[in-house]
Chains A and B, each alone.
Chain A
Amino acid sequence: MAGNRPPHNDRTRPTRSPTGNGQDRGGPVRQEDRSPKRARASLDQMHTRLLGVGLGFFGLFGAVALKLAFATVIMPMEPEKRQIASQVPDIPKSDPKGQLTGDFALPDIHRATIIDRNGQTLALSLPVAQVYANPMELIDPAEAARKLKTVLPDLDEAETARRLSLRKQFVYIARDISPVQEIAINNLGIPGIYFEASERRHYPLGRTAAHILGGVDIDDHGIAGVERHFNTRLNTDRTPLRLSLDVRVQAVTRDVLQTAKDEFQAIGAAAIVMDVNTGEIIAMVSLPDYDANAFGKAPADSRFNRAVTGMYEPGSTFKLQTAAMAIQYGIAHIWDRFSTIPIHIGRFTISDIKSDHFAPWLALPDVLAKSSNPAAAHIALDVGAKKQQDWLRLMGFFDRVPIELPEASRPIVPSLRNWGLSTVMTVGFGHGVAEPPLSIVRGTAAFVNGGILIKPTLLARIQDDNSAQEADGANPDGTNTETGPGSGIGQGMKDGATGSAGKIDASGAVVPTAFRPSGGSATGSAPSASPALPRPEGIRVVSEENSALLRKMLRLDVTQGTARSAEVPGYFVGGKTGTAEKVGPNGRYLKHVNISAFTSIFPMNAPRYAVYVMLDSPHPTPKTHGFVTSGWNAAPTTGKLIARIGPMLGLFPDIKNAARIDAEMAIPLEPGIPPGRRALGPGNDPGDPRIAARREKAEKAASKAAEKAARAARRHSERG
């Protein structure tokens, strides 16, 4: 082809131009311009300006190219996460500080694990994926559904195929599939199928500590228990959250409580094990309970945490408060005697069930041991309404119990304005107020730990794993670090007290200076805690001397009082029974339908743990001879529980020194009156109800209102 080319005319022509008139080149037509020179100049100017235009466009497009480079590579604007979610998977973050080493926490898990004080996992999140599809990207919906069915056996193939044929851009296929299934589906290679990484909360121990853990909703937000209380912490800090619980103790407590609940056919039960020095909750059980993995499906009654949400009239347990209050205010002393004669006030009579067997006047230790209602009412009357209110407020009985659970609710107390004589008396023996069990345990712990009102907590005091174990092992048998030499009481009768430390009436010998509020020569009756034990932190509510005295009185209740069935040899259990009749639908107290509770401390010589057991509406059994009072069901259950959990808590029964310790802890039921003092008793009864009744008449209207309020409170407690 090229060979056939004719000469290149375009180029050769100008040289052969016969005219040589170059100016005419551009003007083949009507060249009318007068001056070809001017035309030439004008054309040159045009060419120059064309160059200018070209440069201008060069600049404009250069600017675009530069801005483009900035927008894409140099300073790119990140797309929003949701815009490219399906395209860019979350990349697991590295953990340079090694915060997660040794934990169960997985790299792509956001919610922290919850562990018990020993590192046992209570709640953890595992990775799952949600499968969804963009039907617009699918090629063959039926084929996709068939393939998915091979990996997801539960899939409804026809329904999935139908949904995948919809003209939508987003269809869920399956939720919460395992990583293995995710890989299998991915390997199917179906276009338009996507995964959304998420996590699911698991509670490997099921029912154990379910009420404390609570639960999370589908978006991983805590909705109950510590999951809710620590929701922010769990979602932001991935280090495990260490609770104060010991799952071994928790499991045993649940086991013992369930057995008792079944045996006595109770409709509900609760138990608490708390460290009296640190306030750490070691175990907290409420029955019936539920599987924490199925929180949403649990009935409301099962989700109800009787230990903190349930409001129960404390009953006789509250007599300890009355006694402690009277002693701490210096109004009553252990040698003071109180009348057990039934009190008639208005339409009501305050009496004891077994009043026939009681002496008409009982000394303070005897009042607690035998649990006399009229006597407790007398003590309360001696203290008076104002001081009683102050005391209850000080002990936290008017407030929500401080605990890291959102379920903690407000106690039910009579109106402070209608706090009449009958309120004073009924509250004195634990009726007319309704308190959560944890409040009762807290109030009791304050009397035995040296007098400090601690704040109960569900958090382990030592969050670090290694030091926690050291602390646990530091004091393997607390009972051996028993009462120090300074335990003033009973020094003199050390040898005389043999065995049961029973009915020794060492009246003259027991005149401890500690009993006097102003006693200066107290011989350091501090709780004989081993140096390793932490000092309780909180406000002081009773003096150390009075704390020591209250410990002895609590021990007396087990050795000689209503709670003899709670004794565990070598553990020196002390405590106070409480049986409150439940209020029926008509507002009257139901006979033989009780809240039966026992609040105990062990070991009493060096208190470590408070153990609370409550049974709701227990039935009599042949073994209990028809009784449904605490001494026949809650107290023996507590004994069994202490016998099982003691060794787990590093406390072993001290049989060898039992006699000596019991002697040190002993206190007479009817202590003698020290010389030079006039005891309360017959003829010296400022709070005498007959005198009071006369005064009462004037306030009759007010008292009636108060009674009404109290009844309302009782009805509330029943419903709660």
Chain B
Amino acid sequence: MAGLSRVDTSRIGRWWRNIDRVTLSCVGILIALGYILMLAASPAVAVRIGASREMFILKQVVFLLLAGGVVLVVSSLSRQAVQRLALIGGILALGATFLTLVHGVEIKGARRWIALPLMSVQPSEFLKPFFAVMTGWLLAERRRRVIFGSIRFPGMLIAFACFALILLLLKAQPDIGMLSVITMVFFIQLFVDGLPLLFVGAGVGAMIAAFAGAYVAFPHVRSRVERFLHPNVGDHYQIDTALRAFGNGGLTGRGPGEGRVKDLLPDAHADFVFAVAGEEYGLIICLGIILVFLVIVIRTLLKLMRESDPFVITAATGLVAGFGLQAFINMGSTLHLIPTKGMTLPLISYGGSSAISIALTLGMVLALTRHQVSASPISAQYATGGHWTSLREGPIS
């Protein structure tokens, strides 16, 4: 496949030549791991909640198939199409998030889900990637567009306004985890965009202040932080069980299906799936999983360093940062590195909303980092001459 002829000018042929095949492979690896770990982690949970053993597995097969399809389709979109998708999707997601406050299903004290016939959807999951792309577009646009003759496009201002709106919605749900991830992603985007270091420092300070505020304002946040800081006080059943699962796994793990501690993990199929991997497959495979996440993030960032479109840089950075932070928060809290925060491990944890949202994220990353042949001014020149028209990729201008 890698040697697909360059004379193959079909859509698929071009897609395959220009796509980041390493990242795409990593996504494939993650989906495969998701299947394998769901077989190990979900039956015990399913039995515990009274469902059939296979329920989670069958659903996840569908979710991951969908996710794979979404990655492929979205990765073939043009940059402009990505912008439109983000704009439309972002507005829909924002509306849906607002709807959760009115018609949401309350689970464990938070209104984050909207009940659909076959599944519940968590709109804020989709808000995250779309908002990242929108932010990137707004920030880039302010550099190049002038409105009303002489006024620069107020991209930064609009981005902040959107951010404030999202902040309010998520605080109302409440979904502090999602809120902090979106905040951090937004901040990283501002940082990459060239925010003066003074403001960077101020932003970090503000985030610390906000965290302190959350600690004071939200009892469940406080309790989790307290438990993290004082390991000997309070209930540590979940985290202890997770760490025992890792301990039981050791270097090479107990082997597929041989995990025992995993059966006692309350959320083995979702938040604590990494512990299941630790028990059954051990340190080596877990390091491999971390490496896969790291490769996706770092490789994309390195690719962006050769990129000159500010929109692509900020948008893709936001997407990949959200993805990497989510993976880090999940693994970190499973390992008791940070306070417990319910967040899925991308593509590996069970969950439809999460899988599709991550698929959108990665699909857009792949689309934005796709090799832009027609972006070259030379090719543009050739294009004007009418020679390379067939090579042009999407209607950019």
Interface residues of A (CB under 8 A from B): 1-2, 4-6, 9-10, 13-14, 16-19, 21, 24-33, 39, 42-43, 45-47, 49-54, 57-58, 60-61, 63-65, 67-69, 71-73, 76-80, 83-84, 86-87, 136, 169
Contacts and interface: CB of A to CB of B under 8 A. Distances in A.
Nearest to B241: A83
A33 B243 contact: no
Contact of B301 (A5, A42, A57): A57
Interface in B232-268: 240-241, 243-251, 254, 258, 260-261, 264
B397 interface: yes
A68 B144 contact: no
A84 B290 contact: no
Contacts of A76: 246-248, 250
Nearest to A48: B305
B390 interface: no
Contacts of A31: 144
B305 A50 contact: yes
Given A13-B379, A27-B309, A77-B243, A61 B290 contact: yes
Interface in B309-325: 309-310, 313-314, 317, 321, 324-325
A68 B290 contact: yes
Contacts, number: 185
B3 interface: yes
A-B pairs, 5 with minimum CB distance? A26-B308, A76-B247, A71-B246, A79-B244, A77-B247
B301 A53 contact: yes
Query: Which of A77, A84, A169 is most buried by chain B, counting CB atoms within 10 A of its CB?
Result: A77
Given A16-B378, A57-B324, A63-B332, 4 more contacts: A49-B192, A64-B332, A68-B278, A77-B247
Nearest to B299: A54
Interface stretch (B66-74, B207-215, B279-287): B279-287
Interface stretch (B32-40, B222-230, B357-365, B369-377): B369-377
B239 to A, nearest CB: 10
B278 A28 contact: no
Contact of B194 (A42, A57, A79): A42
6 contacts: A1-B5, A10-B371, A43-B310, A45-B194, A64-B328, A72-B246
B248 A28 contact: no
B247 A78 contact: yes
A2 B331 CA distance: 44
B250 A28 contact: no
A40 to B, nearest CB: 9
A29 B374 CA distance: 12
Nearest to A56: B188
B145 A65 contact: no
Contacts of B175: none
B62 interface: no
Nearest to A41: B194
Contact of B247 (A29, A47, A61, A79): A79
A613 B247 CA distance: 65
Contacts of A25: 308, 376-377
B335 A71 contact: yes
Nearest to B329: A60
B158 interface: no
Contact of B293 (A21, A50, A52, A61): A61
Given A57-B324, A68-B278, A77-B240, A6 B7 contact: yes
Contacts of A26: 307-310
Contacts of B379: 9, 13
A53 B191 contact: yes
A86 B260 contact: yes
A77 B250 CA distance: 10
A29 B297 CA distance: 28
Contacts of B301: 50-51, 53-54, 57
B119 interface: no
B317 A79 contact: no
